[in-house]
Each structure stands twice: as structure tokens, then as C-alpha cells.
Amino acid sequence: MRTLYPSIIPYREHTLAVDALHTLHVEECGTPTGIPVVFLHGGPGAGISPTHHRFFDPTRYRIVLIDQRGSGRSTPFGELRDNTTAHLVADIETVRTELGIDRWLVFGGSWGSTLALAYAQAHPDRATGLIVRGVYLGRADENRWFAEADGGARWIFPERWARYAAYLPADEHGEMIEAYWKRLDSDDQATRIAAAQAWLGWEDFAATLVHDVDAVSDADPLDTLAKARIEAHYFRHNAFLEHGQLLRDIDRIRHLPGVIVQGRYDIICPPRSAWDLSQAWPEARLEMVLSGHGATEPATVDALVRATDAFADQAAA
């Protein structure tokens, strides 16, 4: 089993204004002359972490990590204005141009897989390949599966679901994303934070194959609020994508090498989405692994590190 590469510190950090409102935080790790790769984090709204560069050999890769709009160290923190998939795709291209990179490998997990596909389809001449994990295609059915009372995820983690559902009155269980959004967008700060903690109490602890059903997050309440608001903002708009867009436009990237890594027991982004992607894109290699949604579960790490190493080997050949 492959494991994560050692932790390193960025060799360069950037503060990049992409419009009059938003400024991005960007980090570069690894080798300045290495194979360029862009890491697209999940959430949306989760931001980058020190673990994210560790899927890549730092002696062979120039690793670019971007805090997306409203996320991490980008400003304004938690901002929803001018924050859509199209804006994020444009930001990725702005970062590429600003860093003087001609083409790069595109790597993303969970929401990052959505963004990776959307970016590569918009700019296929700028991608050298894709590695995606925990596939989410931005479809209404995927949102309902995980966050609505008629979805399937509630049958898998009933203890967690009970707490998620109990936060809302029973007469609002027909459209739970919208009911949560009303509270996340409340004028009352305490209401917003309580809704965010209930929202992420369901999601964050459903991410791993093995977990404590009673664990409680110790995350900063304002960080929790920002992430929950950005997620709900995207979910209620079906990721600002047309229905079936990422599968419809797969021909734009069919020529690129692709690897799809999917946890067989991923409850947040269930395997059907990765399967649908692989059927539309048979040239890509689908690897189902014995894990849940979390990127750092052993089988997922093994598959992802093997994929990045193989890409580096091919680039050097």
C-alpha cells in the first residue's frame, strides 16, 4: 500500500486579486521545475490543508493549491457574491496564466472532482490529464441522496441522520436543503451557526468508512458557518451546472488520460456517479477501492498516490 508523501512547506505563496471583490490565496509546493499540477479542494468551501500536497512526489511535481472563492485564506471569507462554478473555473485559468504554466495535470476530489471536470471541459487544451476522486457531478439526484429525507444516505448512518433531521421541524422535511438555507441565511448569528453545525455534523462525520457516530466537531464556529453556507449555496443551485452537463460534454476531454478513484462505500458521493462518469468516458480508468468518502483512508491514498506516480513516470518517459 502506498502512503502519503512527507509534509513540506510551500516554497511560494501568492495573494491574487481575481476581480474587485475576491482575492485568492495560492500556494506552490514541491519542485519549481517539476510537472505542474493543480489541486482542487472539496466542499465547496473547505479550503486547502497541509495534507493536500502529500498526494504528489515533491521531487517531481510543481504542486499548485488554490483556496477557492470564500474559502480558506481567500477573501472575503465566506463570501457568496460572484461565487459560482463559472467564476471558479475562470479563477483556475487566471492562476495558471499568472504562474506562467502552459498546461497542467488537474486533480480534484469530491466537489473538487466536479470543478476539475468543469475546468478541463472549458479548457481542454490546458489540461494534461485528470485524476478525480469521490466523484460528484452536481446533479439534483446526488444532492437528494445525501441531504434530503427521500434520499438513501439516511438509511446508512441513521444515528447521524436523526440529529440532522431533528434540527428542522417535521413539516420542513420535504425540502431540507432549502429549510437549512433559510436558517444559514438568517439575520441572527446564533441561528446561522447552529444550522451550520447541524449541517456539517451530518456531512463531516459521514465521510469515513469507520467513524464514531457520537463524535462532535471542535471546528471554529465561524469556519463551520462559512463552509456550510457555501455548500448550501452551491447545492441549492445544483452546482450552477446545466442538468447532465459534465457527462454531456465529456467528448471535450476524451483524449486526455484520466483516472477515477472511488470509495466503494462512499455515502456522501456514492459510487453510481463515478460509474456513470466511467461509462461516458471509457478511456479513463476507474478504480473502486474499499473505503468511504475520505481522501486519507488507506485504500484511497494508495490508489491516488499510485495514479500521481504513474502520471509522473509517463511524463518522464
- Give pLDDT tens digits for 221-239: 999 999 999 999 999 999 9
- Please identify every residue annotated as catalytic: 110, 266, 293
User: 134 with 260, same domain?
Assistant: yes
pLDDT in tens, 272-304: 999 999 999 999 999 999 999 999 999 999 999
Residue 212 pLDDT exceeds 90: no
- Domain contains 202: yes
Mean of the pLDDT values across residues 60-80?
A: 98
- Residues 92, 119: Cα–Cα separation, whole Å: 8
Residue 217 pLDDT exceeds 90: no
pLDDT at 301: 98
- Domain contains 16: yes
Query: At which of 238, 266, 295 does a domain end?
Result: 238
- Domain contains 6: no
Q: How confident is the model at residue 218 (pLDDT cuts 50, 70, 90)?
A: confident
Query: At which of 197, 223, 238 does a domain end?
Result: 238
| Phi, psi of 251, deg, nearest 5 | -60, -20
Give the chain's mean pLDDT: 96
Query: At which of 209, 238, 267 does a domain end?
Result: 238
- Domain contains 155: yes
User: 246 with 130, same domain?
Assistant: yes
User: 127 with 56, same domain?
Assistant: yes
Number of domains in the chain: 2
- Residues 250, 111: Cα–Cα separation, whole Å: 17
The parent domain of residue 108 ranges over: 12-138+241-316
